[in-house]
Structure 1
């Protein structure tokens, strides 16, 4: 029987507003939602406004089995909104309102206790764009056991100095390829290949696990000084919103449950692809759907003992 992982996701919870509809989102919420669906015990640390959108978000988290005791209600700032623009390939760009309630996550004894009790702590760069949430994040990082940094660069909501500080705190780094290239350039890497730059970052920040997503070309994982690759799954993309978040959640779940790194990256890439061929960040994915998807591709061994690892709560 698998260990019941306990985790905390810190940062923005909000509404992604598209041209004709809106969807619940925010990278930390998306990660938490997918982790909960996989069977992890997840708490969310964030803030919403005292408004209708905030109530909807908190109810969504509760329905998803996520602990909301540390989701604060702010009477001054409204619940976060992001305007999402999709290009002809379904790739998204974002206009993120500021300030929002999640920029003002306050320090609390309760927050510290929740993080101390967890096996892992997930955070991103966007949640530290404001000094209030940034100071809270620093305090929580000081007590977290295992720290997972989703770099998630959003112009103009970060500084190079803050990104480097957050990277130096992490035990696990996740980038997309553009983010990796930007940060390696900032750090004056003279490396040419993707793998060389991944090792450069791992050594520069003393981080044992680094993962880089490559869009339709899959992902690369550097873990315990070895590289693992997934070349991607060909799907009809509806939109890419949240696909990287579900990828990260699935990779965390598999690695921390002791699955082989190769199986973990295959599984995570499959779930990310299924999300990309669905509308919105958090589609429901059944056990049979993920198993059928994985078994349809030669890079996954359907007879492996690790193939039967996905369970909904």
Structure 2
């Protein structure tokens, strides 16, 4: 059992026909708890019915609630979710909400210092107050996992650069890493010296064209001094880079219902296996299976039994 802290937003995902409790840090925390870890969440909710519902839900699922702060002025978070015909989600995130005002205190410091892993994302840094708390905790966290999880317009490339440099492990999806690497290359280019075609050639010659995720991973690892990086590729699986070695999973076939929370469960599964000393290949295979099963289920946090995950992996291998 590992002691893990998740930091950031908790909220209600509001679908056209129903509402579900979510937020990437909470989704990760709930899945990590299901894998038998000691999990806490640092967040803030409103003093309202929505906040009460989230608090009780977290408590019922065994995640520690002693670092959930209550805001008497701001409402609990809500996100409007729309799904396209393929089940992919787009989000409208209300601002400001209670989780934008997480306040640093002694309890948060003590919890973070003792954690085996501290997991954070970019969205939690959209407001000055929570951002300041996050960076203070990153200075004392022993092992830091950055789930990039871009949500426009709530990030800048400068903020992402700072968050990446704090991390020991970074998880991207393929669109995110290409966007960030391209920005880093173009920022370094002197536009008085190079035209657009020449900059494109620079990216190609550096092996950083969009077809080369591996090149992008190595570029990020070098320029942020990050030892471990993972990139998810949707239905095509994922790539894990650690100890200067690449590990691959080509994905599992499944009928997608919605993608909400699939990446969060993937990260939780990968974190669980790696922290507990499993081989990187086993870890990425397991994580891809968990992410696929969640994508084939309704909502972000379906119940998953270990036997069902194992059965899914075995059936996929034998197909």
> What is the CA distance between 1:299 and its match in structure 2?
8.2
Q: Secondary structure at the match of 2:317?
A: coil
Structure 1 counterpart of 2:247? 228
Structure 1 counterpart of 2:120? 123
Q: Where in structure 2 are the equivalents of 1:169-188 lying within 5 Å?
A: 169-188=166-185
Structure 1 counterpart of 2:278? 259
Aligned pair 1:9/2:3, yes or no?
no
Q: Where in structure 2 are the equivalents of 1:104-183 lying within 5 Å?
A: 104-183=101-180
> What is the CA distance between 1:194 and its match in structure 2?
1.1
Between the aligned partners of 1:95 and 1:175, the Cα distance in structure 2 is: 21
Between the aligned partners of 1:299 and 1:50, the Cα distance in structure 2 is: 51
Aligned pair 1:101/2:98, yes or no?
yes
Structure 1 counterpart of 2:234? 215
Q: Secondary structure at the match of 1:254?
A: helix
Aligned pair 1:41/2:38, yes or no?
yes
> What is the CA distance between 1:62 and its match in structure 2?
0.9
Between the aligned partners of 1:256 and 1:295, the Cα distance in structure 2 is: 23
Between the aligned partners of 2:220 and 2:63, the Cα distance in structure 1 is: 33
Structure 2 counterpart of 1:50? 47
> What is the CA distance between 1:117 and its match in structure 2?
1.1
- From the superposition, tell whether residues 35 and 299 of structure 1 become closer, same or farther in structure 2 (CA, over 3 Å): farther
The two structures, once aligned, show a CA RMSD in angstroms of 1.0
> What is the CA distance between 1:217 and its match in structure 2?
0.5
Between the aligned partners of 2:148 and 2:306, the Cα distance in structure 1 is: 29
Q: Secondary structure at the match of 1:122?
A: strand
Q: Secondary structure at the match of 2:229?
A: strand
User: Which of 282, 290, 295 is the aligned partner of 1:271?
Assistant: 290
Unpaired segments of 5 or more residues in structure 1?
A: 301-313
What TM-score do you get using the length of structure 2 for normalisation?
0.92
> What is the CA distance between 1:7 and its match in structure 2?
0.6
Between the aligned partners of 1:38 and 1:210, the Cα distance in structure 2 is: 22
Q: Where in structure 2 are the equivalents of 1:66-105 lying within 5 Å?
A: 66-105=63-102
Aligned pair 1:293/2:312, yes or no?
yes
Larger mean Cα displacement after TM superposition, 35-44 or 289-298: 289-298
Query: What per-residue deviation string (whole Å, max 9, x for no partner) do you get for residues 80-114 of structure 1?
Result: 00000100000000000000000000011100011
What TM-score do you get using the length of structure 1 for normalisation?
0.94
Structure 2 counterpart of 1:308? none
> What is the CA distance between 1:293 and its match in structure 2?
0.5
Unpaired segments of 5 or more residues in structure 2?
A: 186-202
Between the aligned partners of 1:287 and 1:129, the Cα distance in structure 2 is: 36
Between the aligned partners of 1:54 and 1:23, the Cα distance in structure 2 is: 13
User: Which of 224, 237, 258 is the aligned partner of 1:205?
Assistant: 224
Between the aligned partners of 1:141 and 1:35, the Cα distance in structure 2 is: 20
Between the aligned partners of 2:90 and 2:236, the Cα distance in structure 1 is: 20
- The total of aligned residue pairs comes to 297
> What is the CA distance between 1:297 and its match in structure 2?
2.0
Query: What per-residue deviation string (whole Å, max 9, x for no partner) do you get for residues 30-66 of structure 1?
Result: 0000000001100000000000110111111111111
